[in-house]
Structure 1
Amino acid sequence: MEEGNAEIGELMDLYGKQLINLAYTYCKDWGMAEDIVQEVFLNAYRKMDTFEGNSSYKTWLYAITINKSKDFLRKPFRRESFMQRIFHKRNSNQPTPEEMVIGKDAQQDLASEVMNLPVKYREMIILYYYEEISALEAADLLNIPHSTAKTRLQRGRQLLRKQLEGCDFLAK
């Protein structure tokens, strides 16, 4: 048990922030993303002895995070509260702290545009460009055919390009 605790602790230090960012791309709620990642590490701790080493720990944890995040999106009560938060946010005159931070520079504006993509394209763009995972590795992570991953990446790029046409922050 001591060794497992140390190993999970190291994995949390190495990948915790990245996994929270990944979970956020699905649920768009930082608190929920942190909760998802807590579940990921709890699950990883419980199943550490079943890890076969066919992939890296990073790939394994990413796969668990993606699955837990998709589970979150499937739960209607959580989706409803997320939609209520969006409605409240749109009716609020004051920007949230997240909105103020996102508006600071072009990189963050670009990230915001990526977050507006449909999930299947957003996850490919994030895995490929932000996490530097190849399209083939992403296909394995997402349990989709390699050709589907490549197509989603290509379509995600096209959609993003279309979204970015005429954006003010590109002129900066």
Structure 2
Amino acid sequence: MDDAELLRAWREGDRGAGEELFERHYATVERFFRNKVSEPDDLIQHTFLACVEAAPRFRGDSQFRTFLLGIAINVLRAHYRQLQKQRGVGSLHSSSVADLGATPSRIVAGHEEERLLLAALRRLPVELQLVLELRYWDGLKHEELAELLELPRSTVNTRLRRGRELLEQHMGELASSPQMLHSTITRLDDWVEEQRRRSPLSARGEEG
């Protein structure tokens, strides 16, 4: 069964279909949340349950993964709005994950360059972190980002460019040496690809 069929079956009460859909897309959703919140499990569960509720809106015009990520974004924004009220910080266009007091879940980063990259990402305004990670970690195309974020493509391009500039600026502030900064920037695409390939499930098994 394809994703649309599994989603339809799950909504009609087939728990097995839901479990299969969860297994297929858990890694994508876990990766989305893991550098943004300390305890992602509840948000992951909420995302999949909200996906079932929103099933009638999925007509197969886009990939199911894109549809699911759109729901994950809404869940994350709702979570951050609660943190904003608690901490009295500004909007997600100006506040970073660090500003919101959110800490990442356990992330396996084998290289200092990877740790530098992930720390710098968490200093970006949330909306810029989102667009960068969706583009480079999840491999979404510019037109998919525009649809998902409900933005003009020109705005997506601007956010990607500004996000990359700020990312390199923050890496410069955090790097232990000029050589480390140069190494990280030079190999940035390689680190991103390694993070994209890394399986959260296998990482959990290694930690256990």
Question: Fold match, TM over 0.5?
Answer: yes
Please tell me whether the aligned partners of residues 15 and 58 of structure 1 are also in contact (alpha carbons under 8 angstroms).
yes
Distance 1:97 1:70 in 2: 17
1:110-160 per-position Cα deviation (integer Å, ceiling 9, x unaligned): 122112111111111101111111122112111111111110000001111
- Change beyond 3 A, Cα 1:43–1:49: same
Identity %: 25
Distance 1:127 1:107 in 2: 17
Find the counterpart in structure 2 of residue 158 from structure 1.
165
How far residue 37 of structure 1 moved from its aligned partner, in angstroms, is 1.5
Is residue 19 of structure 2 the alignment partner of residue 9 of structure 1? Answer: yes
1:70-109 per-position Cα deviation (integer Å, ceiling 9, x unaligned): 01111258744x98x949x9xxxxxx9948x558531232
Find the counterpart in structure 2 of residue 109 from structure 1.
116
Q: Which of 30, 33, 37 matches 2:38?
A: 30
Find the counterpart in structure 1 of residue 30 from structure 2.
20
- Change beyond 3 A, Cα 1:2–1:148: closer
Gapped regions of structure 2 (runs ≥ 5) = 1-6, 88-96, 184-208
- Change beyond 3 A, Cα 1:2–1:121: closer
- Change beyond 3 A, Cα 1:17–1:30: farther
Is residue 49 of structure 2 the alignment partner of residue 42 of structure 1? Answer: yes
- Change beyond 3 A, Cα 1:51–1:98: closer
How far residue 17 of structure 1 moved from its aligned partner, in angstroms, is 2.4
Find the counterpart in structure 2 of residue 92 from structure 1.
none
Is residue 141 of structure 2 the alignment partner of residue 145 of structure 1? Answer: no
After TM superposition, the structure 1 stretch with the greater mean CA deviation from structure 2, 136-145 or 49-58, is 49-58
Find the counterpart in structure 2 of residue 93 from structure 1.
none
Query: TM-score, normalising length from structure 1?
Result: 0.76
Please tell me whether the aligned partners of residues 38 and 105 of structure 2 are also in contact (alpha carbons under 8 angstroms).
no
How far residue 50 of structure 1 moved from its aligned partner, in angstroms, is 4.2
Please tell me whether the aligned partners of residues 138 and 149 of structure 1 are also in contact (alpha carbons under 8 angstroms).
yes
Q: Which of 174, 177, 181 matches 1:170?
A: 181
Find the counterpart in structure 2 of residue 121 from structure 1.
128
Q: How many residues align?
A: 160
More helix by share: 1
**Counterpart AA for 1:156:** G
**Counterpart AA for 2:76:** S
1:35-75 per-position Cα deviation (integer Å, ceiling 9, x unaligned): 11111111112333442112111011000000111011112
Find the counterpart in structure 1 of residue 76 from structure 2.
69
- Change beyond 3 A, Cα 1:121–1:63: same
